[in-house]
Amino acid sequence: MSEGAPESAPLARRARVRLWAERLVTAALLVFVFVRLGPQLGALVGVAPDGGRAPHFAFETLGGDQVDSEALRGKVVVLNFWATWCGPCVREIPALNNLVKKFRDRGNIVFLAITAETAPTVRRFLKKQEFLYQIAVEGRTAINTYKAFAYPTHVVIDYAGRIRYRQMGATENIGAKLENVIQSILRDLELRRPPASR
């Protein structure tokens, strides 16, 4: 045997290990991109994935109304988990307000903003910044149930109580993305109605 043969075996082994490491990194990146960007891509084209049944929530809004997810069945529910100290949350409020205004005349869409903060803190904030969503304060239970551990987090629930969109963290054009998902759900609902009631 030549003297170079023993050295080529470790080189070949290192090359195989490096190839598999590259494959694993590539696979991990693809999974990350799919998980992170999948909902956004779906929202851009108006097709959002079915994320399963939405967990139950119940709370009182800042205005004193009782909100229970079971009572909202049959409606589109748009949730925003936010905080007054969250810069990206505050920056997207004008776009969210425009969304509320756009769908204001439809009785089948509910916009809810949930924060862990207290009522006095939120009321002080609302003196400076209008927010048209119904606001629930001290909503830690809902935040934990929906695993909204980054602000802002948006969740859209369809008329059947299924999660159709979820965005955790700030993203560009959130108003347009939410509108696309809402319009997609409304089209689905329209298609499910008997022809005589359309």
Strands (E), the chain: 58-60, 66-68, 76-81, 109-114, 134-136, 153-157, 163-168
The pLDDT confidence band at residue 29, using thresholds 50, 70 and 90, is confident
The pLDDT confidence band at residue 24, using thresholds 50, 70 and 90, is confident
Whole-number Cα distances in Å, 170 to 36, 65, 74, 91, 92: 12, 28, 28, 10, 9
Task: Give the gyration radius of the chain's Cα atoms.
Answer: 23
How confident is the model at residue 20, as a pLDDT?
Answer: 87
How confident is the model at residue 46, as a pLDDT?
Answer: 39
In this structure, the number of other CB atoms found within 10 A of the CB of residue 134 comes to: 17
How confident is the model at residue 45, as a pLDDT?
Answer: 40
d(CA 7, CA 82) in angstroms, rounded, equals 59
Output 27 or 115, whichever has higher pLDDT. 115
Looking at residue 23, what DSSP letter applies? H
How confident is the model at residue 113, as a pLDDT?
Answer: 96
How confident is the model at residue 131, as a pLDDT?
Answer: 97
Output 178 or 18, whichever has higher pLDDT. 178
Mean of the per-residue pLDDT values for the chain?
Answer: 84
* pTM: predicted TM-score of the whole model, two decimal places: 0.72
Percent of the chain with pLDDT over 70: 82
Q: Is 5 left (phi over 0), alpha (psi -120 to 50) or beta?
A: alpha
End-to-end CA distance of the chain: 84
Whether 178 contacts 156, CB under 8 Å: yes
pLDDT at 197 over 60: no
How confident is the model at residue 27, as a pLDDT?
Answer: 78
How confident is the model at residue 193, as a pLDDT?
Answer: 63
Model confidence pLDDT, tens digit, residues 79-134: 999 999 999 999 999 999 999 999 998 878 999 999 999 999 999 999 999 999 99
How confident is the model at residue 182, as a pLDDT?
Answer: 94
Q: What is the CATH number of domain 45-197?
A: 3.40.30.10
**Which of 75-84, 135-144, 182-191 shows the lowest mean pLDDT across its residues?**
182-191
Tell me the three state secondary structure of residue 87: helix
Whole-number Cα distances in Å, 17 to 5, 13, 25, 27, 31: 19, 6, 12, 15, 21
